Chains A and B, each alone.
Chain A
């Protein structure tokens, strides 16, 4: 270990059962930052939101620290002693009153352990529940689809948010955006149609998006299927509107024209019948095995979470459960309201809970065992494509944390085994048992189990474990063999028991804190949610037309009080602040759950409104028959964006593919105000008059290019920036006063008809202007131009006059109005990046293009004696995390660098060009690939 030199270790974050491969940066034995694992097929170097943010969870001071027995502190030995009589009693009766409740599991080791347990206790049952993942409505799909979007010219999403959510989202975004980054005007763009009730990240990137109620998606899918002659199965009742019919026709025509080069994606929250139709369409179009492959479900012992939990609750109520092991999760808070899980739990004689927090479930359990954070754990997990990732600890457990693997090992009578040995032994056995089909990435065989293990740990995954089409994922799994691996192309008629009329209520997990599991995570709480930019609260979306009907103002200005809605459904009601969201399906209310925690911790307690009382096991995702009324109450919502219209100033420049191809210079003319720029100068497009002499850059000349056509607006860049640059959290009251500290923000603009708007995203870091308005006004020279073109901040010189921020036209400077950084909680110190100054009160701060990374590379280049820094050596935190590769950083003085090439594209433009600031960060305009057959007017 060299002080100041971080080490990187491959690991993976389990979430909803699936693994998110990561590379953890370790400074002197403490993990500070997480990046994607560049070698892993599920990451290719990028991450999603939770991967970036979860490092803070490790250091959360509110994590549970000791084993508790009815609230009293106990030791692990005491727990083991208490376990023995319980298990002995169960052994005698074959485990018939023993139940295990987990979250979805893909971990081969854990699955094997559970199966060992089930063999010794033959009547024990294993239930799974997760409020977000693995919960389906009207049947779980029997197969899992894995998409290859880089081969798809036409993508149709049926209420699927594949870019913004889920284990595959990083890879799917990589593949999808590879077809969006146009290098020349002739580049063939893909085309995406999205049909969905809720505006999502995926929907906002569609070329054509239709807002449709969830319950109509089935009929819509059937209409498209019949248009291409695929088997649509039992016709769903309910008629589609004429407009939707027209859309279905146009999509069917487009799909038929792209046989084998298109893909239909059904959303996780849609019934099995819709998945079957999507499968039938892909089969009929010849897409199967080209743009999509179908495999057996990867999650082990796949169960419909709601059904599995309902069965468990029924047994608990019937007194058939004596011992319940809840390994992970917080079912007392997240279980469907109709199950009354908490009451049923009270009837179980021995309740044992393993969890990260002393939460609502821990409170009701006899034993609570603190769970080790994944950065403290040994384990394994499969990613969306089946590839097994190894989880290795970056630090010894900070508290007395145990993993589910350790608990199960103890239950299996193998107490005392080191966690690493459990995982290692499992894989050594696999290595031996299967005649070593495991190979290195290059295909060569391993000499022995030890070299296999070391290689797997180094890479972070086991090559060749990805599932292949229709193959079982794990040959050794007894549960798997019992399962039919059928892949029906015809639809089995699935009755939809939910109401088909009335206002539709749609349930969605909060995009940042999910079902409340991240409620105590301040970074995620403060991160603006995609599209609405709301922080620290959950809101109910309604459409603008619906708002007008209810008498709610459609446009808001500034951060103020929002009207509160009373949403009544199935005899229960919840009061929630409203958010008028353009693009929401009419007569639909979208309720985000996960907020309103009571035992989350200091950060998450009492934040937001609990929407779980409305959610039932019968309709966990959508149902009709809700009533929405406006109350006289109001509620303060803190949003980081107060205005969502471009007002003709075109900060985001948009063209259609046709226009752009016909006249590539059209981008330059969009949104020009005042005098057009005088003359072109090659690199930056325009030279404007300045009193200052032009600067010369003999060495590097750093620049950034942001491709707005690739950007999906997911916001992971913001999370990455927070983690890298020690950015403070300010809390709701400060965000409501527009004092958030994020150095990069993602602005969202809606354009056109509010019922069917076009949506654009624009990440906005400091533009690092050549003629920077901030530099000339600083009275203490705390912001100065560097000889590499950076607009540097000298924190120790800054006295906080805020002159620079007042003069900045992009409003990217952030000021510490109060003492925002936590200098008192010792747990949080370890997370901070030692290469970045921790700012105190009264200091202005802003994006520096990750100058600490530039310095590292410069020092390395000097030590190695190399002439310059090769393009791509330096990645800013936002660039590295971005799954869409929308952000490119590099040297504008190198003609062959990616950023130079981007700057020479016709799509390249500067924001607020007419001000003559000559920004160093430039944008590549949005080009949408419209289909003239679909009503084009609605899409702006």
Chain B
């Protein structure tokens, strides 16, 4: 797609995103060349190490949780949810904020947004993943929750559409639809 295909001033004409003097080849060289250096900065090891420890911590605590039960969180009968719902809502909030900003950028034709689109996409995917941990592991029997809670194809219910990672609303809508169906007692 070239700007010359459009009359001058047409809003559909793409704005040049490569600085003069660059070709697709030179841009690729520059981007891929980043990892070919032998001088990895120490801070990279620091950051990677820190997050590796945190990730290991997550895995260890999830394993402990699966082995012992959610009693390890200190919940009790009047307080059925505490740590789990706060975490869940926190990550929903973060995810909503990112998507909201993205939507604003989109609707105001901020084309520079294209540049970090993949970054934000994966960012959101991570948030959704973190958020999805809690509805699953907060249940008493996560191994069955997978079966009972997740939407699955059923002739008298909604057809399962596995949601896109960044598509926030759909998972919630689907969840609500599944719930409404079950409440009305039409099946099961």
Binding site for B on A (CB under 8 A): 734, 737-739, 775-776, 778-781, 784, 797-803, 805-806, 811, 813-819, 841-844
| Residue of A with least CB distance to B80 | A802
Chain B: interface residue total (CB-CB under 8 A): 27
Inter-subunit contact A739/B141 (CB<8 Å):
no
Inter-subunit contact B80/A784 (CB<8 Å):
no
| Residue of A with least CB distance to B138 | A801
A729 to B130, CA, bound (A): 35
Cβ of B140 within 8 Å of any chain A Cβ, yes or no, is: yes
Inter-subunit contact B77/A776 (CB<8 Å):
no
| Residue of B with least CB distance to A816 | B140
Cβ of B108 within 8 Å of any chain A Cβ, yes or no, is: no
B140 in complex: contacting residue of A734, A738, A799, A806, CB < 8 Å = A799
Given contacts A739-B71, A781-B182, contact A842 B78 (CB under 8 A): no
A815 to B73, CA, bound (A): 14
Cβ of B113 within 8 Å of any chain A Cβ, yes or no, is: no
CB distance from A242 to the nearest CB of B (A): 46
B80 in complex: contacting residue of A799, A806, A816, A843, CB < 8 Å = A806
Given contacts A802-B140, A818-B69, contact A797 B148 (CB under 8 A): yes
The proximity string for B residues 150-188 relative to A, scoring 1 for CB distances below 8 Å and 0 otherwise, is 000000000000000000000000010011001101001
A367 to B81, CA, bound (A): 55
Inter-subunit contact A799/B69 (CB<8 Å):
no
Inter-subunit contact A813/B77 (CB<8 Å):
yes
Other A-B pairs, 17, CB within 8 Å; known A738-B78, A815-B140, A842-B139: A739-B71, A779-B179, A780-B148, A781-B182, A798-B140, A798-B141, A799-B139, A799-B142, A800-B139, A800-B145, A802-B81, A805-B77, A815-B77, A817-B70, A819-B69, A842-B70, A843-B140
A739 to B76, CA, bound (A): 6
Inter-subunit contact A814/B179 (CB<8 Å):
no
Given contacts A779-B182, A816-B69, A818-B68, contact A799 B77 (CB under 8 A): no
A779 to B174, CA, bound (A): 12
CB distance from B173 to the nearest CB of A (A): 14
Inter-subunit contact A776/B148 (CB<8 Å):
no
Inter-subunit contact B70/A843 (CB<8 Å):
no
A536 to B138, CA, bound (A): 30
| Residue of B with least CB distance to A776 | B183
B80 cross-chain contacts in A, Cβ below 8 A: 802-803, 805-806, 815
B144 cross-chain contacts in A, Cβ below 8 A: 799
Q: Can you report 15 A-B residue pairs in the complex whose CB atoms are below 8 A from each other?
A: A739-B71, A775-B183, A779-B178, A781-B185, A798-B141, A799-B141, A800-B141, A802-B80, A805-B80, A806-B80, A806-B81, A817-B75, A818-B68, A841-B141, A843-B140
A778 to B102, CA, bound (A): 34
Inter-subunit contact A780/B140 (CB<8 Å):
no
The proximity string for B residues 48-90 relative to A, scoring 1 for CB distances below 8 Å and 0 otherwise, is 0000000000000000000011110011111011000000000
CB distance from A311 to the nearest CB of B (A): 53
Inter-subunit contact A817/B148 (CB<8 Å):
no
B175 cross-chain contacts in A, Cβ below 8 A: 779
Cβ of B105 within 8 Å of any chain A Cβ, yes or no, is: no
A844 cross-chain contacts in B, Cβ below 8 A: 140
A122 to B70, CA, bound (A): 67
A620 to B178, CA, bound (A): 66
Cβ of B13 within 8 Å of any chain A Cβ, yes or no, is: no
A738 cross-chain contacts in B, Cβ below 8 A: 76-78
| Residue of B with least CB distance to A794 | B188
Inter-subunit contact A842/B140 (CB<8 Å):
yes
CB distance from A643 to the nearest CB of B (A): 11
A776 cross-chain contacts in B, Cβ below 8 A: 183
A196 to B183, CA, bound (A): 54
| Residue of B with least CB distance to A740 | B77
A813 cross-chain contacts in B, Cβ below 8 A: 77
A811 to B74, CA, bound (A): 17
A800 in complex: contacting residue of B76, B78, B140, CB < 8 Å = B140
Cβ of B100 within 8 Å of any chain A Cβ, yes or no, is: no
CB distance from A47 to the nearest CB of B (A): 28
Inter-subunit contact A841/B182 (CB<8 Å):
no
Cβ of B97 within 8 Å of any chain A Cβ, yes or no, is: no
Cβ of B27 within 8 Å of any chain A Cβ, yes or no, is: no
Cβ of B149 within 8 Å of any chain A Cβ, yes or no, is: yes
| Residue of B with least CB distance to A802 | B80
A800 cross-chain contacts in B, Cβ below 8 A: 70, 139-141, 145
Task: Choose among A778, A799, A813 the residue with the greatest number of B CB atoms under 10 Å from its CB.
Answer: A799
